[in-house]
Amino acid sequence: MDMTPDILFKALADPTRLRCLMLIAAEREVCVCEFTHALDMSQPKISRHLAYLREAGIVQDRRQGQWVYYRLHPALPAWARAVLRETRKGLAGAAGFDADREALACMADRPGVGCC
């Protein structure tokens, strides 16, 4: 799928998808269990939004054992990466987005360290 501005901005318009993308932009790769912990949402809700982002060509997933990790799609155009980078910069210090990263940083048993 060719990335177009309307596809990217429609994805960013949803608060849950925006929060997921900002975590990915900050952390480079995030496991589904990390999203559920950081955003304090159910796994089905997170998975539904991640599926939308994957189908739109914005993120790519990889499986490692029982974990599913998400990162920005390597074929994401430079302009789209720039939009995400600038959005992340613009949201620095915004309470909700900083709280997501803080919750993730405090998560016990993050993947790679133990189980979640």
For the chain, what are the domain ranges? 5-104
Tokens representing residue 82 in the block: 């720039």
| Confidence grade of residue 114 (pLDDT, cut at 50, 70, 90) | very low
pLDDT tens digit string along 9-29?
999 999 999 999 999 999 999
Q: What is the pLDDT of residue 97?
A: 86
Q: What is the pLDDT of residue 1?
A: 62
The residue behind tokens 């490692």 is 64
Whole-number Å distance between alpha carbons of 43 and 50: 10
Secondary structure (3-state) at 69: strand
pTM over 0.85: yes
pLDDT tens digit string along 86-113?
999 999 887 778 899 999 989 988 876 5
Please spell the DSSP secondary structure of 10-52, one letter per residue: HHHHSHHHHHHHHHHHHHS-EEHHHHHHHHT--HHHHHHHHHH
Give all strands of the β-sheet with 67-72 in edge-to-edge order.
Answer: 30-31, 67-72, 59-64
Backbone angles phi, psi at 69, to 5 degrees: -110, 145
Judge: domain 5-104, CATH 3.40.50.2300: no
